Amino acid sequence: MTIVSSASADGFIERLPKGMLFFLAHGTDEGLAHERARAIVKKFLGPDADPLALTRLEGDAVARRPTDLADEAYAVSMFGGARVLWIDAEGRDLTPALEPLIERPPVDCAIVVKAGQLKKGHALRVAFERAANAASIECYSDEAKALAALIEAAVGEAGMTIDPDAKAALADELGADRQTSRAEIGKLVLYARGQARIGLDDVRAIVSDAAPSPLDALVDSAMAGDFANAAESAGRYFGDGGDAEPLIARLVQRLTLIHRVRLEMEAGRPFDAACQALFVRLPPEARRALARAAERWSSEAIAERLPSVRALAARVRLSPRLGPALASRALWSLSARRKG
């Protein structure tokens, strides 16, 4: 029985127990779950692994044909060596496909499952938490210490330093999602390229939530259910040459934050206490918009939508011309959804 807390997960992955073949990375921070799943794959296969040693599977396909997973897991590698099956659960219950494998493990083949938030007692969590050869790895949003380390590492790799007040301001704007945090830090580093250090003015100039943005009103309108305003704002944004990719990134960021706030509220905390517990610091108008969205959405409803919005970001990167239509459709869908 191995349950790995979010705080100790990176150390656990660095020293994977010998003989452990089943790993579930799950939690509210899906970007962090993805990052840790990828780290497990790299650790298990080694830095110079054959690309054919990794097989990516979609949860929907595994749920439809659970026996196919066993066929893949027990297959003998043509060239020998370790293999990994990486499954994106996509909200599907994969327990029927995984339990037989956990009971009769394949030889030299690890199975890594990336999932979103799974409530305590969820069948998939229970299967991994009870098995001796499996690990359930929690992936929750970065706390202050982890964010500071993430910022320092990225800035240091770029050959720069960051002033303490700038680092504190940057950390205040990050943490809802690991991938979003990395993207924001990377954007800041690119902006400051050629400088020896990053200052507070640099953070205020470039980090998405550090200054008012036209994207905020658009996303807030959609999340609050104001269909007319969301449609009008989207048309104006794209009519002025706006890019769909940062809009969807902001939408993912806001959905993730609302999800975290709702989890705190559903645990019994009022909105203000939930924000305090999560160290959410927003200007008054942005805070009121967040409160309206948190009142309208449940954590379960957000969890249902997040995977599709994340997938939309990938589609827009592959087909930029379709970006305005895809992003507008997503905003309209969110704004038209009934409360709950």
In angstroms, the CA 122 to CA 134 distance is 16
Dihedral of the alpha carbons of 106, 108, 111, 112, in degrees to the nearest 10: 170
The two three-digit tokens of residue 178, written as one number: 């690991």
- Confidence at 212, pLDDT banded by 50, 70, 90: very low
Ordered domains of the chain (ranges, CATH):
3-138 (3.40.50.300), 144-206 (1.10.8), 214-336 (1.20.272.10)
What count of other Cβ atoms lies within 10 Å of the Cβ of residue 256?
24
What average pLDDT does the segment 187-194 reach?
A: 87
Kindly tell me if the per-residue pLDDT of 211 is higher than 50: no
Cα separations in angstroms, 203 against 132, 179, 330: 46, 18, 29
The two three-digit tokens of residue 284, written as one number: 């008054």
What average pLDDT does the segment 276-296 reach?
A: 82
Task: State whether residue 267 is helix, strand or coil.
Answer: coil
Name the region of 80 (left: φ>0; alpha: ψ -120 to 50; beta: rest).
left
Q: Is residue 119 within 8 Å of 16, Cβ to Cβ?
A: no
Out of 118-132, 192-206, 291-305, pick the least confident. 192-206
The two three-digit tokens of residue 61, written as one number: 């396909």
- Confidence at 163, pLDDT banded by 50, 70, 90: very high
In angstroms, the CA 248 to CA 256 distance is 12
Q: Is residue 251 within 8 Å of 331, Cβ to Cβ?
A: yes
Task: Tell me which amino acid residue 29 is.
Answer: D
In the DSSP assignment, the letter for residue 140 is: -
- Confidence at 339, pLDDT banded by 50, 70, 90: low
Kindly tell me if the per-residue pLDDT of 233 is higher than 80: yes
Give the pairing type, strands 197-198 and 54-58: unpaired
Task: State whether residue 12 is helix, strand or coil.
Answer: helix
| φ/ψ of residue 254, rounded to 5 | -70, -40
